């Protein structure tokens, strides 16, 4: 049996030229209006977008892909300057943080790769005001801002972003709510707890300074509490989350709760355990959330700080191309997974529990977890 299919002319895809003819404007005006360029009057832009919608115009993904391919095949030409805007004393204190410095290095490298320069600017520089620095950036034709990590959690920033596209790093900036790129701390804490369960640990303790948890958007404590709901009631140890955690406070918490592993953002914990006569990992395991500053032998999670800085630049440039200015009506969050470090501060999965001095644990299901780095 032969099936006869009538020959139909292919559907014609509406183009920007079609929109321009209907609107009575140039094709260049249509292109700018669809990308919400501020040079196009609001009324004209609304008319153009309305006609485009009625015609069913959508950008051609193949042409967009071709343009992207051509751009990658050529060495990047200078596009524009971006600003790294810090909110710490003289714009210097962030440099003392290895994580923050890595954010900056990752952002700088990605900006250069895409043809952009990045200039450092500081809100708290002597004689500077938010209005003045905004005018300086505008006069230098800088339209994109990377807001540096804030020195304190829940910071409110007094700066008018109406003329700029802006992305912030981490969760410490509470006002305004800019689009952000951050470490996926909630997911990675869950990964850490489940891997520890898979290694046979049951009395899992968390020690985090309150400020560190607040800077994480409360993700460390929230995720840990959620994972505890999977544990038996007697194995749910109270987390030590205080403003000023010192050795006596930790020592009191440790002997009261007898954890068989400690998760912490504080590298000092290993030294304190040694002074208490607690061997790591024989008596108690240690898993670090600090990332930077740890030696190669410390088991834990590493924050992908350079990658976070690079992703922030990519997001910012995308916003610049779409002319997204000011504080967004709906905040976006781009979360980047960290990397697992095996180290030597956790016992081997096949090591019997008696070696830790805690006694044999009841058997539990194998969580069969693998670390991921996205």
**3-state SS, residue 222:** helix
Give the mean model confidence (pLDDT) for residues 198-219.
96
Mean pLDDT of 118-131: 91
128-153 burial string, b = 16+ CB within 10 Å, else e?
eeeeebbeebeeeebbbbbbbbbbeb
Contact assessment for residue 303 and residue 291, using Cβ atoms and an 8 Å cutoff: yes
Kindly report, residue by residue over 312-324, the tens digit of the pLDDT.
999 999 999 888 9
- CA–CA separation, 259 and 63 (whole Å): 59
Give residue for tokens 């809100």: 123
User: Which DSSP category does 96 fall into?
Assistant: G
CATH 3.30.930.10 applies to domain 185-302+339-356: no
The better pLDDT of the pair 106, 54 is held by 106
DSSP letter (8 states) at residue 25: S
CA distances from 176 to 3, 161, 253, 356 (A): 63, 9, 38, 49
Highest mean pLDDT among 44-48, 102-106, 355-359: 102-106
- Please tell me which residue, 29 or 298, carries the higher pLDDT value: 298
> Does pTM top 0.85 for this prediction?
no
Q: What value does the mean pLDDT take over residues 357-362?
A: 38
- Residue 57 vs residue 219, higher pLDDT: 219
Question: For residue 261, with 0-12 CB atoms within 10 Å meaning exposed, 13-18 middle and 19 or more buried, which class applies?
Answer: buried
| Residue 73's pLDDT band (cuts 50, 70, 90) | low
Query: What is d(CA 126, CA 142) in angstroms, rounded to the nearest whole number?
Result: 21
Per residue in 96-108, pLDDT (tens digit) is 889 999 999 999 9
Q: Can you read off the two tokens belonging to residue 74? A: 């050529």
As given in the structure block, the two tokens for residue 274 are: 């040694």
Write out the H or E segment, with its range, that includes residue 44. helix 42-55
More confident site: 46 or 308: 308
Q: Is the pLDDT of residue 28 over 70?
A: yes
Q: Which two tokens stand for residue 86?
A: 């810090």
Is residue 4's pLDDT more than 50?
no
> 311 with 220: CB under 8 angstroms?
no
Return the closest-CA partner of residue 261 out of 236, 281, 291, 289.
281
Average pLDDT of 74-93?
A: 79
Is the Cβ–Cβ distance between 25 and 34 less than 8 Å?
no
Query: What letter does residue 291 receive in the DSSP assignment?
Result: -
pLDDT at 250: 98
Q: C-alpha distances in angstroms, 81 versus 39, 132, 211, 319?
A: 20, 18, 33, 14
User: What average pLDDT does this structure show over 285-304?
Assistant: 83
Whether the domain at 80-184+307-336 and the domain at 185-302+339-356 fall into the same CATH topology:
yes
Higher-confidence position of 357 and 208:
208
Which residues lie closer than 8 Å to 306 by C-beta, 6 or more apart?
102, 103, 105, 106, 109
Assign a CATH topology to domain 80-184+307-336: Rossmann fold (3.40.50)
Identify the residue whose tokens are 């505890």: 228
What is the C-alpha to C-alpha distance for residues 207 and 347, in angstroms, rounded to an integer? 19
Kindly list the distances between the CA atom of residue 218 and the CA atoms of 7, 138, 184, 223, in Å, as whole numbers in the listed order. Answer: 62, 35, 12, 9
- pLDDT for position 362: 37
Domain boundary assignment for the chain = 16-69, 80-184+307-336, 185-302+339-356
Say if CB 335 and CB 182 are below 8 A apart. Answer: yes
Radius of gyration over alpha carbons of the chain, in Å? 27
Interval 130-183: pLDDT, tens: 999 999 999 999 999 999 999 899 999 999 999 999 999 999 999 999 999 999
Mean residue pLDDT of the chain comes to: 85
SS3 357: coil
| 96-105, 216-225, 253-262: segment of lowest average pLDDT | 96-105
**Rounded to the nearest 5 degrees, what angle is found at the Cα of 195, between the Cα atoms of 373 and 370?**
40
How many residues are given for the chain?
A: 374
Q: Give pLDDT, residue 315.
A: 97
Rounded to an integer, what distance in angstroms lies between the CA atom of residue 319 and that of residue 147?
Answer: 14
Confidence of residue 6 (pLDDT cuts 50, 70, 90): very low
Out of 3.90.76.10, 1.20.1250.20, 1.10.3720.10, 1.10.260.40, the CATH code matching 16-69 is 1.10.260.40
- pLDDT at site 161: 97
Provide the 10 A C-beta neighbour count for residue 65.
Answer: 10
């Amino acid at each position: 049996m032969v099936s006869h299919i009538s020959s139909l002319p292919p559907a014609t895809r509406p183009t920007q030229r079609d929109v321009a003819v209907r609107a009575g404007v140039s094709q260049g005006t249509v292109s700018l209006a669809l990308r919400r360029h501020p040079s196009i009057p609001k009324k004209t832009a609304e008319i153009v977008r309305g006609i485009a919608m009625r015609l069913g115009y959508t950008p051609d993904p193949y042409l967009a892909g071709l343009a992207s391919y051509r751009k990658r095949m050529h060495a990047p030409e200078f596009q524009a300057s971006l600003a790294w805007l810090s909110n710490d004393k003289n714009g210097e204190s962030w440099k003392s943080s290895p994580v923050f410095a890595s954010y900056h290095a990752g952002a700088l490298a990605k900006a250069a790769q895409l043809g952009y320069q990045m200039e450092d600017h500081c809100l708290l520089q002597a004689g500077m005001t938010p209005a003045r620095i905004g005018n300086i950036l505008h006069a230098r034709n800088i339209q994109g801002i990377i807001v540096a990590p804030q020195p304190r959690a829940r910071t409110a920033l007094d700066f008018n972003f109406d003329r700029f596209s802006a992305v912030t790093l981490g969760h410490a900036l509470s006002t305004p709510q800019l689009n952000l790129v951050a470490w996926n701390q909630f997911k990675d804490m869950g990964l850490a707890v489940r891997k520890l369960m898979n290694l046979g640990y049951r009395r899992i303790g968390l020690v985090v300074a309150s400020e560190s948890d607040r800077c994480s958007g409360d993700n460390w404590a929230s995720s840990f509490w959620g994972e505890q709901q999977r544990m038996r009631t007697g194995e749910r140890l109270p987390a030590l989350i205080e403003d000023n955690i010192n050795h006596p406070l930790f020592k009191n918490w440790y002997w009261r709760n007898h954890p068989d592993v400690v998760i912490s953002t504080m590298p000092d914990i290993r030294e304190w355990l040694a002074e208490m006569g607690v061997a790591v990992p024989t008596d108690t395991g240690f898993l670090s959330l600090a990332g930077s500053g740890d030696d190669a032998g410390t088991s834990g999670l590493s924050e992908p700080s350079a990658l976070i800085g690079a992703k922030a630049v990519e997001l910012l440039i995308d916003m610049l191309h779409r002319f997204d200015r000011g504080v967004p009506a709906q905040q976006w969050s781009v979360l980047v997974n960290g990397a697992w470090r095996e180290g030597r501060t956790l016992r081997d999965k096949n090591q019997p529990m008696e070696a830790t001095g805690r006694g044999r644990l009841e058997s539990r299901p194998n969580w069969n977890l693998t670390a991921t780095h996205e």
